Structure formats: C-alpha cells, structure tokens
Amino acid sequence: MYREFYGLTEKPFSKTPDPRYLFLSRGHREALARLQYAVEERELALLTGDIGCGKTTISRALMDAVGNDGCFCFIVNPRLSAVEFLRTVARSLGIAEPAAAKDELLRQLTEAVYRLEGEKRCPVIIIDEAQLIPDQEVFDEIRLLTNFQLDDRNLMSVILMGQPELRQILSEPAHEALRQRIAMHYHLQPLSLEETLEYVDFRVEVAGGPQGLFSPDAIRRIYELSGGVPRKINILATNALLVGFGKDSAWIDASLVEELRDEASLY
C-alpha cells in the first residue's frame, strides 16, 4: 500500500520497539544515562512519564547498552501477589522450578543472585506499569530485594517505571521505607516541536523513505495534535500517510494532517 507509493521499505511508525528506530531526544538520553548509572551502581531507580512517552523503549535501550553484564527480568503486568512476583523474578534469574513455599523461594533467589555475582552479572528487575501494583506486600518485596548486598556494594538493580500517578502512590506514608531507597528519579517529558521534526524525519529515513516526506507545517500540526507524545505521533503520522496515499499526494502537508483532527482526540 502506502509503503511502495512513498518509496518506503518498511513501516516507519510501527508500534514495536525496534532498536533501529530508537530516537533519543535530550530527555530520553538523560533518562537512559541515569538508568545506566543505576544499573552500574546496582541501585533502585524510578522512571515516570505519561502514556506513550517512551519508557518501555528506554528500557529496551538499557538492555542493549548493558548487554551480557546484566540479567534482565521484565515484569510488564505487575498485577501479581507477592509470591507470584517473587516467582516471576526467580524464573528470570534462571530458576527453572521456583518453589511454592516462600522460605524455599527466597533461598533459591539468594543462591541465584550470588551465582550471578560470581559470573560478574547484575540482576536487573524492571517493573513496568508499576502504578498497577495491587498491594503493599508487593512493594515490600521490591524493597527487600534491595537487601541483597556485600559489604561494599549492592547485588541487584531494581527499576520502577510507571505513569505519573506512581509518584503520588509512593509519596504515601506506607511507602516511606521504599521511597528512601530510591537513588534515582526521572520524569520523562514529551518531545519538543524541534525534536518532533527530527523524530519524524529520522524514522522516515530509517524506513528507506525520502527526506522531507512530511512538510514542516505537517509536522508542526502533528506536534500540536499529539502534544509531542511519541506514540501519538506514530499514530498520526501513519494515518497521514494513509490519507496521502488515498489522495495520490506526493508528500504529506498540513492539510492532510488536519483531516485527522477529530480522530486525534481518540488517541
């Protein structure tokens, strides 16, 4: 369809976190650098941002940056009981059959963490959508994971990622002990207009398309409708390409994007 029409070899605004399409704005670069530091120091970190701002993309970039020095556990749905949470972590650390009893499960986790330390690898537990954690007991287990230590260093890094309300949740008195252990905080902002211009051009070029496929006015309108949120930019840009293809338009201008104004409120 529109790919051949616009000289694209693939979809430039796919929702999948393909590392080839990783665009690091100033905010994304800083967030990634801070998370890398948290892993190097084996600290507890907090990354927040609105829906679609790129938190998950940054976590994938972090995994690529750390490479084999890390043993990553991604928890993408944290609606778990405390034992379910620990069993999920255990599987990611190489425990084939996590115990059902908590005391035995903790023994298995301890052995796995020290085994990884002997291999010079850092366990990195990344909990996405952490604002959905259902109860205090799970937060307590997250805090207790940071107790894996030697005399001179921690043995594990834990990264909490979530929407802005996660900060409000953690500000509650019940989470004081966990909050005090968070060594790195960062809130990811949407892209600026200039960054949106660079972002759209970058993704088109990676997909094999021509420079200037989207006019500056078109990208400005995309920015206004999306608020600079990458996921919304992707949806608007894809739909603009479909509209342009339907109209046999050689490039995407602001008038084509304007046709998506009513749809944009649904994203």
Average pLDDT (74-92) is: 96
What is the set of domains in the chain, with CATH numbers? 26-188 (3.40.50.300), 191-264 (1.10.8.60)
- pLDDT, one tens digit per residue, over 26-66 is 999 999 999 999 999 999 999 999 999 999 889 999 999 99
First to last CA, the chain: 23
Write the Ramachandran bin of 71: left for phi over 0, alpha for psi from -120 to 50, otherwise beta: beta
Taking the C-alpha atoms of residue 20 and residue 7, their distance in angstroms, rounded to an integer, is 18
- Flag whether pLDDT at 67 surpasses 90: yes
The DSSP letter of residue 132 is G
pTM of the predicted protein model: 0.91
What are the tens digits of pLDDT across the range 133-174? 998 999 999 999 999 888 778 999 999 999 999 999 999 999
